[in-house]
Amino acid sequence: MVYSPREDSYLLKKWVSKLSKDKKVLDMGTGSGIQAIAAKASGAVIILGVDKNKKAVILAKKNAKEAGFSDIEFKHSDLFLAVNEKFDLIVFNPPYLPNEEHLDIGKDYDLVGGEKGNELSIEFLKQAVEYLNPKGCVLLICSSISDPFEIFSYAESFGYGYKILEELRLDFETLYCVKLWVKE
* Residue 184 pLDDT level (bands cut at 50, 70, 90): confident
Q: Check residue 102 and give its pLDDT.
A: 46
Do 133 and 105 contact (CB within 8 A), yes or no? Answer: no
* Residue 100 pLDDT level (bands cut at 50, 70, 90): low
Q: Check residue 14 and give its pLDDT.
A: 98
Q: Check residue 114 and give its pLDDT.
A: 57
- d(C-alpha 72, C-alpha 61), whole Å: 8
The whole-model pTM stands at 0.91
Average pLDDT, the chain: 90
Q: Tens of pLDDT along 28-55? A: 999 999 999 999 999 999 999 999 999 9
**Residue ranges of domains in the chain, CATH in brackets:** 7-182 (3.40.50.150)
Do 38 and 18 contact (CB within 8 A), yes or no? Answer: no
- Judge whether residue 19 has pLDDT over 90: yes
